[in-house]
Structure 1
Amino acid sequence: MKTLPKSSRVVIIGGGIVGCSTAYHLAKLGVEALLLERRKLTSGTTFHAAGLVGQLRSNANITQLLGYSVELYNTIEDETGLGTGWKMNGGLRLACNQERWTEVKRQATTARSFGLQMDLLTPQEAQDLWPLMNVDDVVGAAFMPTDGQANPSDITQAMAKGARMNGAQIFEDCKVTDLEIDKGVIKAVITDQGRVECESVVLCAGQWSRSFAARFGVNIPLVSMEHQYMVTEPIKGMPKDLPTLRDPDRLTYYKEEVGGLVMGGYEANPIPWAVDGIPEGFHYTLLDSNFDHFEPLMELALGRVPALETAGIKTLTNGPESFTPDGNFIIGEAPELRNFFVGAGFNAFGIAAGGGAGMALAEWVKNGEPPFDLWSADIRRFGRPHFDTDWVRTRTVEAYAKHYTMAWPYEEHSSGRPCRKSPLYEVLKDQGACFGEKLGWERPNWFAGAGETPQDVYSFGRQNWFDAVGREHKACREAAVLFDQTSFAKFALKGPDALAALNWICANNVDKPVGALTYTQMLNDHGGIECDLTIARVAEDEFYIVTGTGFATHDFDWISRNIPAGMNCQLFDITSSNAVLALMGPRARDILQAVTRADVSNAGFPFGTTKTIGIVGCPVLALRVTYVGELGWELHLPVEYATTVYAALMQAGAEHGLVNAGYRAIDSLRLEKGYRAWGADIGPDHTPQEAGLGWAVKLKRNTPFKGREAAQAQADGGVKKMMACFTCDPDVVLLGRETIYRNGERVGWLTSGGFGYTVDKSIGYGYIRNPDGVTRDYVMEGSYELEVATQRVPCTVHMTPLYDAIMERIKG
């Protein structure tokens, strides 16, 4: 019997496919790794996974990660000599109504944007590939030839062997009982066989991850859900090379197995499991088959595959799996504990993601950063509501039920709401607000007028709120609007070294007088944009930091972990303390001056400054800034004053045409002005030079800052991708991920899309790529088209804001 080592640089907890993949990739990188599995490899949930491997997602980098899995599965059998059951037999996706067909066509364009082949087929062509199915109701289908299927246990064992071949150690029947942590630093893992010193821990414990991590203050928002699939006896005439099949309109999926079929699905009424905790000793265990609950899926499947009527049923497998509130997996270093990494919550596509997730985790552990931007799966995308397991479960039930429903543009979740509310929630609701939700916050998306219902009606065309948002947009350009942006994340950095710390972390110069306001990025060592925020200097030793609602955990973590060692300053999250009212539009000054004695003239309150002013007895921190391209102020004030200040502004603004406006108008307005959105247009894979934000980087100053060398190299040597704006006919609906063609060649995709009501054009932003370099002249010399739902449409490229006249109004 092997003896447990006394130390290892990295300890991986959990021997499913993600844990074994992480061990394999760490070993390949030359990193000492030890994997500990409490029972046997695959005995948690991997052994009962269905094993379908699809690649396409709405995010380019998640698609890339899944594509890496396919590359690995193509070679791991030859490398290790162990069979994996991997077959690149392709994947079919059906569409049975026109709106689903539009969704599929948009997915085909997304695939093309990301460099994947997805072929659109007629119903007959689809049936030729999958002859067992009835296609009477099929409108069309998409086929991705590089998708496939694997045997989950076999491919996991192959990666485990590959890990051992490269020096990793794997111990089964070794339960991790505790972590040894000293002053926030991981020192060791404690097991039932002894103590193992380590520098880092990677938790890949599937549905056990949340409860284990919670003991150490780490929040992993996942819960267990029952998931069933049926395995049939061999079916006569079953082709061995049958592609996997997804039939989302019938909520079902299929794959061939040993001459029979595996059929499962995502029912609209899923069943949470282990609500009171996972039973002790649960391993290599399945739940009782629930035939009554599976029957509606079976009836849907019979309409698609008539052969199921007479096929013998070998098993109905009911296995619990971990699901997350937004349907994406959870990866990365926990913000609550350094060197504690997580790979969990794979929403029943752990086999598809396993290879890539292990690669990403291994590189993250070794290099201190992921191989590329994984924000949509990053553990730091979560926040305060996700500490409550009941709230997580409520939202996850909805996400599971939506797994195969239409992925509508602008779709909002409905469960677990309202959760976090601005003081103005009821007031704005009474005035016709239609709310969306971000990180638990209720935020007005748009306001219904007379005869309109404040409720979204989803479609792939112009949705029912289009005209309402147009009214708000027009009011902002011509009069004034008030946005409730209380959900903004807000931090205070205080201490004698606050300036020195921020000037190191920030790409722009924050060494300005008290009262100065700075727009800045924070860069990684490659020059990529990790944060995009506004910083007000409110005292010699204090800064007020404002960032987007969804980035609260991420940005707090980035700032706090990049404060240089030994510097004396403290970061506080004060999001819940302050409400935010954004008063924007050409009449904003008239309205603000009517409610305060402070001088808000351009001379008295210039653009890019901040000061505290009084409004109806409230001390208001007013920031002269804009994200909509109009004269305006963000008014930050204690929450208890919010309704009073709001009422005063609305009363003073009545004669100036002041109206409420929501977040969809903000997006439309910012697109016209060319303001970037982090998480879409900019992020860790994009630099200021590439994004047209080089003007906000302090390269002319002899000041060191994080990422300076990379930023300087690009400033001197040029870039290979550059952001541009595209406009096209207003009848074309741009959503993002549409393919960009320059002179007939694919050069990128749109990172965001929408509509500009002032210019009466559809607007998109995206990066034009060229391995030999991209310049402004190169961009402007090209002729461009956009592919939208497989159709190419002409467009015009721009390198300046669409609404330049705005600048005079902002600063005037």
Structure 2
Amino acid sequence: MYPHIQTVDSSPKLPEETDVTVIGGGIIGVSTAWALSRAGVRTTLLEKGVIAGEQSSRNWGWCRTMGRDEREIPLAMASLARWPELAAELSEEIGFKRTGILYACRDETELTQQRDWLARASHYGVSSRLLDAAELARYMPGIEPGAFVGALYTPDDGRAEPDVVAPAMARSAMRLGATLLQQCAVRGIETQSGRVHAVVTERGRVRTQAVVLAGGAWSSLFCRHLGIRLPQLKVLGSVMRTPPMTGGPEAALGTSGFSFRKRADGGYTIAHRGGTLAPIVPDSFRYLRDFLPMMRTSREEFRLRLDARLWQEAWHHRRWSNDDISPFERERVLDPMPSSRVLKEAMRQISDAVPFFRNIEIAQRWGGLIDVTPDSVPVIDSINTLPGFYLATGFSGHGFGTAPGAGQLMADLVTGSTPLVDPEPYRFSRFGKTGSKV
């Protein structure tokens, strides 16, 4: 498990009643609860494990607009505008720095892909621009000559510390009046007159007017329990970090083979940008038709793997009674082993391209399971078949950087306020029949 997550104290007891219940204490759930609390809404946040215990503390820590799916750019831009203000609003240091991010291209094919993205994205006002090899060397001193033909550079993008941000938001939400309980799994939802009326937890029942499911990699399973089909899979990201190092680059860099960013402690977070593994599980077959287009176009980025998760998830009940122990209590935290092969490959490539990283010490390795939708775009929407039920999930590895905007957008939808950005690209209905009741 990632060991440096800041701890958050839980509220003393479960309330009998609340306006909105948020399920899931990852960055999206916490950001939503924080936005609702700022709006004066009575909010209860329930987490089966600990705040930011899964992917929200295990991601790269990038806050970027660059390279986003065009549908995500407005949300990413709105979030990036919020990041510089967060430390003051939270009254805590979160490590945000606008250091710039580069995507380095090994050949003209990769450079053309970045040029095409920039042509589509430029009218949104992104600060991205193309660099040739000489310009890249100026922005990233010490890079191996001839390793790259150019790069896409976005000076406004930056970084923050994943193990700090969600806990800081959670504490701020509690100061604003939110109730927060950890080690408190939600087993199910009760309805009255066809709409959400209460949540049933392992500690008791809470009457509520609305429920936001921000369950990350667990969302599809919870939805199936409610009879709602959410096509979503988990993929494994493997990451490592170094101890503090002096003299290294400030800007973050991504390539088709590796990525790195400097940490607030002076070390570096390193990963394999094209080394995401897709464990074969029962949902792989359940949602095969939904994900076939992605599998055909992203073979190099997502690699299939058969491991123990197939048998672990085969034991998950499709339905369970609200009086029974749920799967969320049987496995409190998803804590997968990272792929040594993927991390070794990343180290080999980064050592070849950036001599600064040769013979470095690795202080820690970890894995995280990422919630992915068939189009890699999140769902941020109400569910028509269950009035009062909302989804904020499927961020496909982009949740940390877009969290300030995503949480606000979800809060806007719940309260009926003017949406921060157009919510249409994030509608559940885009999945067509796959988003209907099972």
CA contact (8 A) 2:335 2:367 kept: yes
What is the distance in 1 between the residues matched to 2:229 and 2:419? Answer: 20
Match of 1:259 in 2: 266
For 2:368, which of 310, 314, 319 is the aligned residue?
Answer: 319
Question: Does residue 164 of structure 2 align to residue 154 of structure 1?
Answer: yes
Question: Does residue 51 of structure 2 align to residue 41 of structure 1?
Answer: yes
In the superposition, relative to structure 1, how do residues 290 and 61 fare at CA in structure 2: closer, same or farther (>3 Å)? closer
Match of 1:215 in 2: 225
Question: Does residue 409 of structure 2 align to residue 360 of structure 1?
Answer: yes
Please report how far the alpha carbon of residue 352 of structure 1 lies from its aligned counterpart in structure 2 after TM superposition. Answer: 0.9
Match of 1:247 in 2: 255
Match of 1:473 in 2: none
Q: Which moved more, 1:292-301 or 1:315-324?
A: 292-301
What is the distance in 2 between the residues matched to 1:67 and 1:283? Answer: 33
For 1:334, which of 378, 383, 389 is the aligned residue?
Answer: 383
What is the distance in 1 between the residues matched to 2:421 and 2:84? Answer: 22
Question: Does residue 194 of structure 2 align to residue 184 of structure 1?
Answer: yes
What is the distance in 2 between the residues matched to 1:272 and 1:24? Answer: 38
Question: Does residue 305 of structure 2 align to residue 271 of structure 1?
Answer: yes
What is the distance in 2 between the residues matched to 1:294 and 1:271? Answer: 15
What is the distance in 1 between the residues matched to 2:67 and 2:381? Answer: 19
CA RMSD of aligned residues (A): 2.4
Cα displacement string for residues 140-166 of structure 1 (whole angstroms, at most 9, x for unaligned residues): 112111111111121112222332233
Q: Secondary structure at the match of 1:143?
A: strand
Match of 1:14 in 2: 24
Supply the AA of the counterpart residue of 2:305.
I
What is the distance in 1 between the residues matched to 2:245 and 2:199? Answer: 50
Match of 2:65 in 1: 55
Any unmatched runs of 5+ in structure 1?
A: 388-552, 558-812
In the superposition, relative to structure 1, how do residues 238 and 115 fare at CA in structure 2: closer, same or farther (>3 Å)? same
What is the distance in 2 between the residues matched to 1:326 and 1:332? Answer: 16
CA contact (8 A) 2:48 2:332 kept: no
Please report how far the alpha carbon of residue 369 of structure 1 lies from its aligned counterpart in structure 2 after TM superposition. Answer: 7.6
Any unmatched runs of 5+ in structure 2?
A: 1-10, 276-299, 317-326
Please report how far the alpha carbon of residue 137 of structure 1 lies from its aligned counterpart in structure 2 after TM superposition. Answer: 3.1
Supply the AA of the counterpart residue of 1:321.
I
Supply the AA of the counterpart residue of 2:240.
M
Match of 1:200 in 2: 210
In the superposition, relative to structure 1, how do residues 294 and 342 fare at CA in structure 2: closer, same or farther (>3 Å)? same
For 1:119, which of 122, 126, 129 is the aligned residue?
Answer: 129
CA contact (8 A) 2:75 2:421 kept: no
Please report how far the alpha carbon of residue 214 of structure 1 lies from its aligned counterpart in structure 2 after TM superposition. Answer: 0.9
Match of 2:396 in 1: 347
Question: Does residue 84 of structure 2 align to residue 74 of structure 1?
Answer: yes
What is the distance in 1 between the residues matched to 2:262 and 2:69? Answer: 28
What is the distance in 2 between the residues matched to 1:163 and 1:61? Answer: 29
What is the distance in 2 between the residues matched to 1:340 and 1:40? Answer: 23
Supply the AA of the counterpart residue of 2:347.
M
Task: Flag the structure with higher strand content.
Answer: 1
Show the 5 A alignment for 1:598-613. none
Please report how far the alpha carbon of residue 232 of structure 1 lies from its aligned counterpart in structure 2 after TM superposition. Answer: 2.1
Cα displacement string for residues 72-107 of structure 1 (whole angstroms, at most 9, x for unaligned residues): 221121122211111111111112222222222233
In the superposition, relative to structure 1, how do residues 28 and 135 fare at CA in structure 2: closer, same or farther (>3 Å)? farther
Match of 1:787 in 2: none
CA contact (8 A) 1:217 1:336 kept: no
Cα displacement string for residues 34-77 of structure 1 (whole angstroms, at most 9, x for unaligned residues): 11112221113212122112114565552121122222221121
Work out which structure has the larger RCO, using CA pairs closer than 8 Å and 6 or more positions apart in sequence. Answer: 2
What is the distance in 1 between the residues matched to 2:347 and 2:305? Answer: 17
For 1:305, which of 354, 374, 378 is the aligned residue?
Answer: 354
What is the distance in 2 between the residues matched to 1:271 and 1:53? Answer: 29
Please report how far the alpha carbon of residue 298 of structure 1 lies from its aligned counterpart in structure 2 after TM superposition. Answer: 3.2
What is the distance in 1 between the residues matched to 2:183 and 2:407? Answer: 22
Supply the AA of the counterpart residue of 2:357.
L
CA contact (8 A) 1:225 1:272 kept: no
For 1:142, which of 140, 144, 152 is the aligned residue?
Answer: 152
Cα displacement string for residues 1-36 of structure 1 (whole angstroms, at most 9, x for unaligned residues): 622211111100011110010011112222221111
Supply the AA of the counterpart residue of 2:267.
G
Alignment identity in percent?
Answer: 26
CA contact (8 A) 2:147 2:353 kept: no
Please report how far the alpha carbon of residue 205 of structure 1 lies from its aligned counterpart in structure 2 after TM superposition. Answer: 1.0
What is the distance in 2 between the residues matched to 1:58 and 1:78? Answer: 27
Supply the AA of the counterpart residue of 1:374.
P
TM-score (norm: length of structure 1): 0.45
CA contact (8 A) 1:58 1:110 kept: no
CA contact (8 A) 2:54 2:335 kept: no
What is the distance in 2 between the residues matched to 1:51 and 1:57? Answer: 15
In the superposition, relative to structure 1, how do residues 148 and 270 fare at CA in structure 2: closer, same or farther (>3 Å)? farther
What is the distance in 2 between the residues matched to 1:297 and 1:324? Answer: 25
CA contact (8 A) 2:186 2:201 kept: yes
Supply the AA of the counterpart residue of 1:45.
Q
Please report how far the alpha carbon of residue 378 of structure 1 lies from its aligned counterpart in structure 2 after TM superposition. Answer: 2.1
Larger radius of gyration: 1
CA contact (8 A) 1:245 1:255 kept: yes
In the superposition, relative to structure 1, how do residues 285 and 217 fare at CA in structure 2: closer, same or farther (>3 Å)? closer
CA contact (8 A) 1:222 1:345 kept: yes
In the superposition, relative to structure 1, how do residues 3 and 132 fare at CA in structure 2: closer, same or farther (>3 Å)? same
Show the 5 A alignment for 1:396-407. none
Supply the AA of the counterpart residue of 1:247.
T
CA contact (8 A) 1:111 1:117 kept: no
Supply the AA of the counterpart residue of 2:24.
G
Q: Secondary structure at the match of 2:269?
A: strand
Supply the AA of the counterpart residue of 1:4.
L
What is the distance in 1 between the residues matched to 2:140 and 2:232? Answer: 35
CA contact (8 A) 1:226 1:270 kept: no
CA contact (8 A) 1:333 1:339 kept: yes
In the superposition, relative to structure 1, how do residues 63 and 296 fare at CA in structure 2: closer, same or farther (>3 Å)? same
For 2:42, which of 9, 13, 32 is the aligned residue?
Answer: 32
Question: Does residue 432 of structure 2 align to residue 383 of structure 1?
Answer: yes
What is the distance in 2 between the residues matched to 1:95 and 1:344? Answer: 31
Q: Secondary structure at the match of 1:9?
A: strand
What is the distance in 1 between the residues matched to 2:383 and 2:204? Answer: 25
What is the distance in 2 between the residues matched to 1:205 and 1:183? Answer: 25
